[in-house]
Structure formats: C-alpha cells, structure tokens
Amino acid sequence: MGWIKSGDQTLTAEQFDDRARRAASAMAALGVAAGDGVALYLRNDLAYFEAVFGAGLLGVYPVPVNWHYTPDEANYLLNDSAVKLLVIHADLYGPVSHAIPDGLPVVIVETPPEIRTAYNLGEVPNPLGLPLWNDLVAAAEPWQGEAGIAPGSIIYTGGTTGRPKGVKRPAFSEEQNAAVSAMLAWSYGYGDVLAGTRDPATITTAVIGPVYHAAPNAHSGFSIRAGTNVVICPRFDAEGLLALIEKERITHLNMVPIMFNRLLRLPEEVKGKYDLSSLEYVTHAAAPCPPPVKRAMIEWWGPVIWEYYGSTEMGNVTGLSSEEWLAHPGSVGKVMPGATVRVVDEAGNDVAPGEIGEVMGRNSYGIDFTYQNAPEKRRQMERYGLVTPGDMGYFDADGFLYLCDRINDMIISGGANIYPAEIEAELHKLPGVADCAVFGIPNEEFGEEVMAVVQPMPGVTLHADDLRADLRKVLTSYKVPRRIEFADALPREDSGKIFKRKLREPFWEGRERRI
C-alpha cells in the first residue's frame, strides 16, 4: 500500500488509517452520527482526508466547503446542508466566524507551514476557546465500532437560480460501488490496479486542485482508497508542479485546462529544466480545453494526455487518449464502458451524427441522487432516465462526442462553475441598475471570464469600478465581472427574456472551438 504526504509529513497507509479511526472517534464524541454531515472548510491538507475517511467510518457525509466563499455564501451552505460539525483551518475562521450558525460545534485545524508559505500567511494564531483537531485526534482512541456504510461527499454545485445545490447520494450498494470504482479507475488511469495486474504503490499522484471541487475531491479520495502514493499540494504552482514531478517521480495527474495554460506560459528554459519522463497518465476535465492548448501540451509532454467528460450528477461518461484527440480535435471522447450518452432533439429523439442536440447521460451506478432541500431542481435534471447537465453537442460519424454550448449559460472559468443568475441578482440590488445580463466570454488563460452588460435607469450614470466594488462585498472575487459595459436597452426574445446569445455571440466568432 502507498503513502500520503503533505509538506514535511508523510503517513504510511497504516498510520493514515489509525489517524482516520481516531478522527472518527473524535467526531463521534462531538455528537456526529450516521446520516449527519460534517462541513470541511479546509484547504488541501492531511486533516481534510483524515476527516473524510473518519466520517466514512461513521456513515457520515463529508461536506467540502469552497473556502473562497463570502460570509453570506458560507452561512447559506452551513444552514442548507444542516451539518452537525464544522472543521475549519485557523486562518479561514476569522472572516466567517460571525456567519457560523448558532450552536454549530467548531473544531480548528492549525494552518500548517506549507499552507502558510503557499499563501503568504505569516504566523496564524489559533482562535481562543475552540478545540484543536490534532489535540482531539491524538487524544481519541481508534474507532472500534462497526464501520458504517461510507456515503459520498455532499458536493455543492450551482444552478441557474443562483444558489448552489448540494448533490447528495445514498451510500452505494456493493454492485454500485464496483461500478463507481470502474468509472474512476478508467478516468484516472488506474485500470490495471483495479484489475489486480499492477501494484498501486508503483503509482504516485498529486492533489493539485482544491479538494472542494468535485473532480479533485473524487480523484484524491479514490487514489488513497486504491493504495497509490499521494502528494497533497497546498495550491497549484506551474514551475512547482514540474519540480514535484521530477522530485517525486509523479506518474499520474488529474488536471484542469487553466493549469495547462499556466504551464505553457513558463519560459522555455524553465520548461526544459525538469525531468518529466515519469509521467504515464495525465487526465483533464472540469472545463473545455482550447485545441491549441491541448495540442501544445501533447507536443510537450507526449501522448500521456487523456480527457474525460461528465458532471457531479451524471458521473464521468466519455473519454479519449491523446492519439484519439489528435484524430478528432475538439472532441471529449467516446462513451466509456458502462455509461450511456444520448444527444436528442426537443422531442427526445436521438439526432443523426453531426446534428446538434441536448446531451444527456448516466453511468452504470445510476442516478440515485437528491439535491439538498431542492426536490424540484432534482426533477428538472432527469429526462428519459438520464441526467441532463445542460450541454448541447453532437456525435461525429465515428462516435466521438463534441460539445457546442451550454443551455443554462453556466460560465466555467479556470475550472470553477459560475452561475450568471447569482451575479445578476446582486447587480439588480444596486442603485441605478434597471436591468442586466451576465455571460461568459473567451479568456485565454481561464477559458472564460465573466462579462456583464448593464442597463442603467434613465438619467443615471453608472461606473464599472463602482459596480465591481459593490459586488465584491457580497460575491467571491472570481464571480465579479472582469468586464462591464453599459447599454440603453438589452435585446429581448418575444417572451421578454433577455436574448443573451445576441450579446455573447460576437465574442465567440471565429473560435476553433466554442467554449
């Protein structure tokens, strides 16, 4: 079995299991029981995984929290998820302390040196009067009770109504768990491990994306369960990743396209400085990858680049190798084993190859999930027994899937999902704003950036910098529009809805692939 490493700390599989069992006892002593949720307001750290695996022993749902949230956003998630415990890094506690629901127990995780260094935090004092994670875990006896059925994390993903939705699944049956393992092994290049033909300890991977996102969350947890060696990185750094690949002989990675962008922008002497020959399987997802970027990465790293497509609700459903992508540039791949994908017209009929329709699918473990406190939104996601993630696309004659547009106008910037309706709702609250439209436009580094067109009230003069300053008070920084323009009137459809496509289309003309 492999090891797990963060900063100067390395735990063997046995040591990590002991820490997780002690974490389970510590959480149980705080009143957390099977079926409850534990909010993990944490950066990438060993404590996050100790809590996740400890919660699993209790049959408790881990609820990762995006630590970029404003206090209002954090308060919404903590209330909506009805968690029974909050585990939070010391440096993150202060800004949201007043937004924590009354009566919710809080445990502080000391901010370790590698995180302080990565984020230039300096010394971080621990809040007074609150229990410390390491003290509780060290004092607890390893959990000896019957292990509960470990549920998956409740991942909060967004929707066109603005507020994020918690995707919650019941614990998998043995058959479903096998199907999930097959899907993840296929996605991350661990098929030979699952088949029993490779020792997992010969694989070394790194967690380089924030674990509150679905893809890094799934990748990191599965890698630990599979027995591979896992290096936890506090944050992504382009040259730092190259150095890590050489130092740790990294074999497998799970990435997003913005990381490719930042790697490609390194000076040539830096790119050629490190030995990357250990790489075997580098997969990416979460956001579309512009063809020039992907082609450049394949030329640099070789045919080790893979891609998969899916969603939190649907699971991963397609994938392709470097060679397949070079033959079908812009594709997100063929349907993976055990998955179902359809492209349909408005009547639900499968469209012909080359014809654009709505993409929907499911993996073999099924679509048995709920949205926390939002059953009506859950019903909207399902059609014909499949999940509709809101994408438009088509199959080519060889069975490769291509994505063209998103029905729900969701913006993906640097791998993060951004929902225009949430931003529009805040813009509408500002003085002098009569109407507005928010949408994504191309950004060479992030894939997309947020743009707003604002219609001022008659006789009112608005300024973009002032609007941005007001929005930063209530929204996470990456949701604040980078570009704001003004219009006397916004184009509308016959129904009265703003015709966003007319606003968005000029920015996407001439693109090799629309993203």
Q: Give the distance between the most distant pair of CA atoms in the chain.
A: 72
**DSSP 8-class letter at 164:** -
Residue 67 CA, chain-centre distance (Å), reads 13
Q: What is the pLDDT of residues 185-215, one digit of tens each?
A: 999 999 999 999 999 999 999 999 999 988 8
The pair of structure tokens assigned to 446 is 């992030």
| CA within 13 Å, CB half, 317 | 27
Place of tokens 């903590």: 78
Mean pLDDT in residue range 395-402: 96
| Angle CA 275–270–274, to nearest 5 | 10
Structure tokens at 379: 């019903």
> What is the pLDDT at residue 416?
83
Query: Residue 512's pLDDT band (boundaries 50, 70, 90)?
Result: low
Binning pLDDT at 50, 70 and 90, where does residue 493 land?
low
The DSSP letter of residue 396 is -
Q: How much is the average pLDDT of 353-363? A: 92
Tell whether the model's pLDDT for residue 292 goes beyond 90.
no
pLDDT band of 148, cuts 50, 70, 90: low
pLDDT at residue 495 in the model = 40
pLDDT of residue 304: 98
pLDDT in tens, 406-450: 676 778 888 887 878 778 878 988 999 988 899 999 998 888 999
Question: 224: which 2 tokens?
Answer: 């630990």
Q: From residue 48, how far is each of 1, 18, 90, 488 by CA, in Å?
A: 20, 15, 13, 49
Q: In CATH, what is the architecture of 10-153?
A: 3-Layer(aba) Sandwich (3.40)
Calculate Rg over the CA atoms of the chain.
23
Q: Where are the alpha helices (DSSP H) in 302-406?
A: 322-327, 375-381
Residue 320 has pLDDT above 70, yes or no: yes
Helix, strand, coil percentages (3-state) for the chain, rounded to 5, are 35, 25, 40
Q: Are 282 and 188 in contact (CB under 8 A)?
A: no
* Least confident segment among 14-28, 36-50, 226-240, 352-366: 352-366
Q: pLDDT grade, residue 514 (50/70/90)? A: very low
pLDDT (0 to 100) of residue 377: 81
Least confident of 334-338, 381-385, 409-413: 409-413
As a whole number, the mean pLDDT across the chain is 91
CA gap 63, 166 in Å, rounded: 9
CA triple 64-67-72, angle to 5 deg: 100
The CB density around residue 12, as the number of other CB atoms within 10 Å, is: 12
Confidence at residue 160, expressed as pLDDT on a 0 to 100 scale? 38
pLDDT of residue 158: 57
Answer whether residue 286 shows pLDDT above 60.
yes
By DSSP bridging, strand 340-344 and strand 204-207 are: unpaired
Q: How many CA atoms lie within 13 A of 464 on its CB side?
A: 11
Task: Read off the pLDDT of each residue in 230-246 and give the average, rounded to a whole number.
Answer: 97
In sequence order, what are the beta bridge partners of 370? 168
Q: What is the mean pLDDT of residues 456-460?
A: 89
Distance between CA 283 and CA 220 in Å, rounded?
13
Consecutive H or E run containing 171: none
CATH of domain 411-508: 3.30.300.30
Residue 54, both tokens? 């400890």
State residue 515's pLDDT score: 41
H or E segment and range at residue 154: none
Q: How do the domains of the chain map onto residue ranges?
A: 10-153, 411-508
Give the whole-angstrom CA distance, residue 211 versus residue 33: 23
- 4, 105, 101, 86: which is closest to 42 by C-alpha? 86
**Would strands 315-320 and 334-335 be described as parallel, antiparallel, or unpaired?**
antiparallel
93: CB partners within 8 A, 6+ apart: 106, 108, 127, 130
Q: pLDDT tens digits for 76-85?
A: 999 999 999 9
pTM of the model: 0.82
Give Cβ neighbours of residue 380 (< 8 Å, ≥ 6 apart).
none
Q: Does position 317 have pLDDT exceeding 60, yes or no?
A: yes
